[in-house]
Structure 1
Amino acid sequence: MDVDRFREQAKKRAPENKKFLQGLKRKDPRVVDDRFHQAHEDVFEEIDCLACANCCKTTSPIFYQHDIERAARALRMKPGDFVEKYLRIDEDKDYVLQTAPCPFLDHDNYCSIYEDRPKACREYPHTDRKKMVQILELTYKNTLVCPAVLEMTERLKKIF
């Protein structure tokens, strides 16, 4: 995976993708879900997240209390110690990682707490959710982070 090439393409297509995704708000939400979910399935048959891990290298998930407790338990830490060592509170008052890349990402792009990773990581890139029309702004942001989301968007532009 050539991440630099992806970033260049994502940036170049950003204005068009933003406009396209915003336009999907005017479509039948069930049709948008169906098309996204099919694109999600198709693209993830072709793209291997372990070849990229750009999400883990550049962004942070939100950690909710349950996520903190689960990750801390996996690392045999107290939740308070986990927060102190790994997290900070962002401008939205959410717990997020202090650093990027993610401290749990290893050299082979595997997650050392994979079974106990936060819900946001489990659901990323959120393109198989119901009511996609409600998260199109997030989807747009993810076109700039995730090659799979960019590819899904390109395929959906041909359908819609």
Structure 2
Amino acid sequence: MDLENFTKKSKAEYSNNKKTKDRLKNIKSKNLDQMFEKSHDLKFEKIDCLSCANCCKTTSPIFIQTDIDRLAKLFRMKSSEFIDTYLFRDDDGDYVLKSSPCPFLNADNTCFVYQERPKACREYPHTNRKNMHGILNLTLQNTLVCPAVFEIFQDFGKDFRK
């Protein structure tokens, strides 16, 4: 995956993707969820996250308390020690990683804590879930991070231009 080229392309297309997001707001919730789920499944038949891992390299998931407790146990630490070592509270008051790339990302783009990874990592990029209306802004932001989300928006944009 050519991440440098992807970054340039996704930034260049951001305003078009924003227009697509605005059009998606007008689709019935159930239909929107189905559209995203279908497109998600098609994209991830072709795209291998291990060839990219841009999400792990550039962004942080939100760590909820159960994630913190589970990972602290894995590392045989107290939850407070795990927080002090790896996390900080962002402007929204959420726990996120202190640094990027993710400290648990291996050189081959696999995850050192994969079986115990945070809920947000398990669900990323969130394009196959219910209530897509509620996360359209987040999904738009993810077009800058995830090539699959970017392609989903590009496909939807083409549909609107027909």
TM-score per shorter chain, which class? over 0.9
RMSD (Å), alpha carbons: 0.8
Could you say which residue in structure 2 is the equivalent of 1:95?
A: 95
Could you say which residue in structure 2 is the equivalent of 1:53?
A: 53
Q: Is the 8 A contact 2:21 2:140 kept in 1?
A: yes
Q: In 2, Cα distance between the equivalents of 1:143 and 1:99?
A: 21
Are 1:44 and 2:44 an aligned pair? Answer: yes
- Name stretches of at least 5 consecutive residues in structure 1 with no aligned partner: none
- Poorly superposed stretches of 4+, deviation over 3 Å: none
Q: Which moved more, 1:145-154 or 1:69-78?
A: 69-78
Q: In 2, Cα distance between the equivalents of 1:10 and 1:58?
A: 14
Are 1:155 and 2:155 an aligned pair? Answer: yes
Q: In 2, Cα distance between the equivalents of 1:57 and 1:83?
A: 20
Could you say which residue in structure 1 is the equivalent of 2:10?
A: 10
Residue type of the partner of 1:136?
L
Following superposition, the deviation at residue 129 of structure 1 comes to 0.7
Could you say which residue in structure 2 is the equivalent of 1:119?
A: 119
Q: In 2, Cα distance between the equivalents of 1:156 and 1:73?
A: 42
Could you say which residue in structure 1 is the equivalent of 2:104?
A: 104
Residue type of the partner of 2:153?
T
May I ask how many residue pairs the two structures share in their alignment?
A: 160
Q: Is the 8 A contact 1:36 1:156 kept in 2?
A: no
Q: In 2, Cα distance between the equivalents of 1:145 and 1:151?
A: 11
Task: Give CA-to-partner distance per residue, 1:18-61, whole Å, 9 cap, x none.
Answer: 11112211111111111110100000000000000000000001
Q: What TM-score do the two structures reach when normalised by structure 2? A: 0.96
